[in-house]
Amino acid sequence: MSKRMYFFLTVCILFLTAGIVTAQSAIFNSDFQHGMSDTGLYGGWKTQNGRLYQQDTREHLAKVNFKADQEGLMEYTFDVRYEGGGFSDRMGGFGLQVFVDETHKGKSWGNGTSYLLWLNYDEEPTYGGAGFRGQVYQSFNHSWMELVEGYDMRLNPVVLSAENMDLVIPLKIQVDGETGLVKVWDPTREGMYIRFFLNEAPGKGGFVSLRTNSLAVSFDNLTVRRLD
């Protein structure tokens, strides 16, 4: 089975949603029918038929920002589809940056003070271990972001048929700004999720960001909700 297949499967394992949580209010909701963010982006982004595409498989710091006030218990849902890359240079990743206080509108390593929840494949990594990893980065400003110690988790690949490469995967993540508790739902066990605490509670934030590294993917139905 190709590395391309393994990488896409790991995306499925870590992020596919299961279960339902009642939401009190939607802070941000976009089906990308009306274009992209006006708060800054970097990379090969475009909208087509209601989906948001990042097409540049050579760009390591692709990013698009969205205005979304965050405080307390937040839920993030969206769907993602693999479009290409992640194998020619033996790396590829994507993730969601949450509780961003101030965005950088162009190319940047960090993105204000925030946390990046990241899924990554890299055979010769600069940060963390090699192979398939689930990672958490803490951003301190636009140029300073570090891999959080203890949150570089090795992931086991599972066989996925070639027919499923075009699968649209719904994702669900919860982050509690007051406690730092994070939940990422597991597709392989109904109603189950991965649970961990950030090293510092993020408090409040004004933006969320979608990011990719050497990978072409498309997104849709990004919704940010505050939960009680």
Q: Which amino acid is at 83?
A: E
Q: What is the pLDDT of residues 68-124, one digit of tens each?
A: 999 999 999 999 888 988 666 778 889 999 999 999 999 999 999 999 999 888 888
What average pLDDT does this structure show over 42-65?
Answer: 94
Q: What is the pLDDT of residues 137-169, one digit of tens each?
A: 999 999 999 999 889 988 754 433 456 567 888
Dist. CA 209–CA 161, nearest whole Å: 30
Dist. CA 70–CA 203, nearest whole Å: 8
Residue with tokens 């508790």: 181
Q: What is the pLDDT of residues 203-217, one digit of tens each?
A: 999 999 999 999 999
**Which run of H or E residues covers position 75?**
strand 73-85
Assign 35 a pLDDT band (cuts: 50, 70, 90). Answer: low
Task: Express as a percent the part of the chain with pLDDT over 90.
Answer: 52
Global pTM value: 0.85
Dist. CA 56–CA 31, nearest whole Å: 21
- What secondary structure does DSSP assign to 182-197, as a single string? EEEE-TTSTT-EEEEE
Q: CATH classification of 3-227, choosing from 2.60.120.560, 3.30.70.370, 2.40.50.140, 1.20.58.710?
A: 2.60.120.560
User: What is the domain partition of the chain in residue ranges?
Assistant: 3-227
